[in-house]
């Protein structure tokens, strides 16, 4: 019974497809339309819009890269010697702490390290230092 319903629906769809396929024909060309309808003429096409001349403005390329009118680059000369006036700053070695109070700590040499937030202290040269309870390391 179920198979019979499917067969009937399939036949109906195939018949409808044949009917649609018979109606699908290619559109007629304008010459064929004139021949098919001799009393009617083909519709005239509208004239294309008139064009006018416009002056073209071309900007130059942006100034990136070498310029053609620039003088040639000079070959590199001898390099200047590095300055020996001031050696690079070197962090001092860690200082052993002799005692601490509410304002900061003092090392065994008598240098005062002022307290800051947490385990941070400020050294005598204004550097940031860390205190671990035994030594102070400045950076």
> What confidence category does residue 71 fall into, taking pLDDT thresholds of 50, 70 and 90?
low
Mean pLDDT (whole number) for 129-136? 89
The closest of 128, 119, 123, 101 to 111, measured between CA atoms, is: 123
Task: Assign 3-class secondary structure to the chain.
Answer: CHHHHHHHHHHHHHHHHHHHHHHCCCCCCHHHHHHHCCCCCCCCCCCCCCCCCCCCCCCCCCCCCCCCCCCCCCCCCCCCCCCCCCCCCCCCCCEEEEEEECCEEEECCCCEEEECCCCEEECCCCCEEEECCCEEEEC
Whole-model pTM: value is: 0.37
**How confident is residue 113, by pLDDT bands cut at 50, 70 and 90?**
very high
Q: Is the pLDDT of residue 38 over 70?
A: no
Q: What is the mean pLDDT of the chain?
A: 77
């Amino acid at each position: 019974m179920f198979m019979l319903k499917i067969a009937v629906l399939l036949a109906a769809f195939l018949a409808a497809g044949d009917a649609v396929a018979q109606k699908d024909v290619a559109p007629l060309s304008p010459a064929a339309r004139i021949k098919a309808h001799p009393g009617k003429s083909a519709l005239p096409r509208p004239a294309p819009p008139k064009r006018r001349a416009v002056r073209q403005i071309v900007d130059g390329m942006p100034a990136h890269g070498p310029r053609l009118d620039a003088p040639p680059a000079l070959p590199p000369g001898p390099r200047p010697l590095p300055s020996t006036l001031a050696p690079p700053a070197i962090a001092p070695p860690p200082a052993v702490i002799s005692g601490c109070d509410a304002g900061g700590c003092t090392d065994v040499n008598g240098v005062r390290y002022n307290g800051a937030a947490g385990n941070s202290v400020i050294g005598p040269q204004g550097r940031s230092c860390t205190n671990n309870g035994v030594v102070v390391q400045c950076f």
